[in-house]
Amino acid sequence: MERPSDNRCTSLINHDNLSALEERLRLVKENDWYNPIRAAEICLVPNIVVLKDFKVPDFVKYTGLECPNTHLRLHYNKMAKVIHNDKMLIYFFQNSLTRSVLSWHMKLDNTRIKKWKDLTDAFLKQYKFNLETTFDRTNLIAMEKGNQESMRVYAQRWQYKATHVQPLLIETEMMMLFTNTFQSPYYEHLMGSLAQYF
């Protein structure tokens, strides 16, 4: 047999749940995301017509940590069939974003993004701190092997950076610059193997 106080608690809980549900419904009605007119207001590219033969590519996702120029080039390459269609470029750009970058994209003001150039300018401005800077020979010599980094991992990291140096390094110059990044006793040990390819 239930106590009267239990019934009163149950009725209060149900009343609270009902009030919360009514509040949620009110908010949904105010936002009215399912209304096509409201959706057009928040969409970056309203009234887009996707070509029948267009197959949505598998995009490399931009996380906000990579070079934005490189990501834009990847996007261009994937969208080669519609490269002159600003609406298509803008519309499918969101498919190449993830995490916080996608959140940033969703907050863009559609009154400011009218052309593909508007979107690329906003994107490059937002992620300009990730632009790859040109590496030179001085940067290579200044590199150091980390304490917890294996020799193989350091060599791969160094070689990756060396491939971005302009003008390109020749093999013997690359080996000399690499060995100069080491202190004793590593330096002496490496000097004996200079004849090998890097």
**CA–CA gap between residue 181 and residue 158 (Å, rounded):** 10
- Inter-residue contact 75 to 81 (CB < 8 Å): no
Residue 47 falls within a domain, yes or no? no
Residues 142 and 125 grouped into a single domain: no
Residues 147 and 183 grouped into a single domain: yes
Per-residue model confidence as pLDDT tens digits over 114-171: 999 999 999 999 998 877 666 677 878 888 888 888 888 888 888 888 887 777 888 8
Residue 87 falls within a domain, yes or no? yes
**CA–CA gap between residue 35 and residue 30 (Å, rounded):** 11
Per-residue model confidence as pLDDT tens digits over 65-121: 888 988 999 999 999 888 899 999 999 999 999 989 999 998 998 888 999 999 999
Residue 145 falls within a domain, yes or no? yes
Q: Within 10 A of 88 (CB to CB), how many other CB atoms are there?
A: 20
Residue 14 falls within a domain, yes or no? no
Q: Which of 103, 130, 157 is the last residue of a domain?
A: 130
Residue 50 falls within a domain, yes or no? no
Residue 114 falls within a domain, yes or no? yes
Residues 115 and 152 grouped into a single domain: no
Residue 104 falls within a domain, yes or no? yes
Cα distances (angstroms) measured from residue 8 to each of 2, 14, 21: 11, 10, 20
Q: How many domains does the chain have?
A: 2
Is the omega angle on the peptide bond into residue 167 within 30 degrees of 0, that is, cis? yes
pLDDT given for residue 185 in this prediction: 54
Whole domain around residue 82: which residue ranges? 68-130
